Amino acid sequence: MAKVKPHRKKPTLDMTPVVDLAFLLVTFFMLTAKFKPDEPLVVDSPKATYDTPVKTENLIEVQVGKEKQVFLAVDNKNARYELINKISESKGLNLTEDEKKAYSVMAAVGVPFNQLKGFLAASPEDRKSIKQPGIPTDSLNNELKEWLIALRFMSNKYVYAIKGDQNADYTAVAQVITTLQSKELKLNKFNLITNLETKK
Amino acid sequence: MSEVQDSGGEKKKGKKIRAKKHSTHIDMTPMVDLAFLLLTFFLFTTTLSKPKAMPLIMPDKNEVPDPAKETKVDDEDAMTIILSKNNRVFYYFGIKEPKVEQASFDATKPNSLRKAIIEKKKECESRLKAGSTTNERHKVVILIKADKDAKYKNMIDVLDEMNINEVPVYAIVDITDKEIEMISGL
């Protein structure tokens, strides 16, 4: 009698649903992803229980780093271009079109006016290696105020926020607040950016 | 392949030549690999923790003070919090005879700042109920002051305490020389 051979079947698995799911997730993450811009200043924001999300549209962020360096981050690319155009004109920096474009693609900049032209003229790779000293905010030479005044003249729709590092001295932040409240700017309402902490 | 089939067809005449049926299955493994690779990439690059905002409204410094509009703080309603270096925090009640005490940010400690705020709040509320204050609006008013060595984190912590304990009126005020002197010995 012939032996009954069991019919050998390859143990295949139908992968179609897996692929469907995977691609669905890929599409979801691709569409929702907002890439982190290359931030020159690492800010470790303090934790708090406030849970109102920041509206990133038209957000003007004044960043205060660990070593008291102040950086200015303007959300919109067009706004950045308009801003650098104004600053170049008012401070007589004579920036070229390329240098203005270079500014408009950067997320946050913390360079005093006298170093701005040289900084923007450098190649993107070189720029990364340059340590930005921060925008001066002291009362004798308050360049942050001039940046903010230029922004204030551009539009009224901006929302101002301070993003301070938790290890920064409060005096550095207080200087920024004083600048915001100065009589030229009169910004008495602003946001402090924090990270969410679970309620204690 | 076709040649082989042709020669085979000549030998076995009469039999129908059937094209060999291939299964329609495709090996999906590389595709899945790619899909998951992309998935992991986007998972890692998306920023999940979106920053939160703490709204802060500061009193207008440029406004000319108008004595009629100014809110007067009763001595017994006031509480002052002073921030200093090494994460130290002090507080005192009233204005006339301040007795400075050190507190802790840790809510589990017996000398926590939160406990002091809650107690002061209760005290003010009970006084309001008893009707000993003339002004009905009066509730606890907290003044926050930071000296030059205070860290930004401490300021956020204190502002957060205001949110947690629902303090109705609080303000960030500049520190006075007298207060610097008061905490210098502690």
Per-residue pLDDT of B117-128, as tens digits, reads 888 888 887 877
Q: Report the pLDDT value the prediction gives residue B3, as an integer from 0 to 100.
A: 46
Q: Model's pTM, two decimal places?
A: 0.73
Residue B98 CB-half CA count within 13 A: 18
CA distance A193 to A92: 34
A45's tokens: 């924001």
| Nearest partner of B87 among B99, B103, B98, judged by Cα | B103
Q: Do A189 and B56 touch (CB under 8 A)?
A: yes
Q: Decide if pLDDT at B4 tops 50.
A: no
Below-70 pLDDT ranges, chain A? 1, 34-38, 197-200
Ramachandran assignment for A194, one of left (phi > 0), alpha (psi -120 to 50 degrees), beta (any other):
beta
| Nearest partner of B178 among B77, B101, B63, B95, judged by Cα | B95
DSSP A131: P
Cβ neighbour number for residue B62 with a 10 Å cutoff: 11
pLDDT in tens, B57-77: 887 776 666 666 666 677 777
Over chain B, what is the mean pLDDT? 77
Q: Report the pLDDT value the prediction gives residue B5, as an integer from 0 to 100.
A: 47
Which residues from B are below 8 Å from A188, CB to CB? 57-60
pLDDT band at B2 (very low <50, low <70, confident <90, very high): very low
Q: What are the two backbone dihedrals, phi and then psi, of residue B146, each rounded to the nearest 5 degrees?
A: -125, 135
Q: What is the mean pLDDT of residues B93-114?
A: 80
Q: Decide if pLDDT at B6 tops 70.
A: no
Q: Do B38 and A49 touch (CB under 8 A)?
A: no
B52's tokens: 């939160």
User: Under a CB-based contact definition with an 8 Å cutoff, are residues A70 and A172 in contact?
Assistant: yes
Which residues from A are below 8 Å from B145, CB to CB? none
DSSP chain B: -HHHHHHHHHHSTTSPP-PPPPP-----HHHHHHHHHHHHHHHHHS--S--EEEEEEPPPSSSPP-TTTPPPPPTTTEEEEEE-STT-EEEEE-SSS---EEEBS-TTSTTBHHHHHHHHHHHHHHHHHHT-SS-TT---EEEEEE-TT-BHHHHHHHHHHHHHTT-SEEEE-PPPHHHHHHHHT-
Which residues from A are below 8 Å from B53, CB to CB? 50, 52-54, 161, 191-194
How is the beta sheet containing B101-103 ordered, strand by strand? B101-103, B89-93, B78-83, B141-146, B169-172
Q: Report the pLDDT value the prediction gives residue B47, as an integer from 0 to 100.
A: 63
More confident residue, B105 or B158: B158
Q: Write out the H or E segment, with its range, that includes residue A163.
A: strand A159-164
**Looking at chain A, which residue has its C-alpha nearest residue B50?**
A53
Q: Do B42 and A29 touch (CB under 8 A)?
A: yes
Q: Do B51 and A193 touch (CB under 8 A)?
A: yes
Q: Which of A23, A32, A46 sits opposite B152 (nearest CB)?
A: A46
Q: Is the interface score ipTM higher than 0.90?
A: no
Residue A24 in contact with partner chain B when CB distance is under 8 A: no
Residue A198 CB-half CA count within 13 A: 0
Q: Which of A170, A181, A196 sits opposite B52 (nearest CB)?
A: A196
CA distance A164 to A97: 32
User: Under a CB-based contact definition with an 8 Å cutoff, are residues A154 and A83 in contact?
Assistant: yes
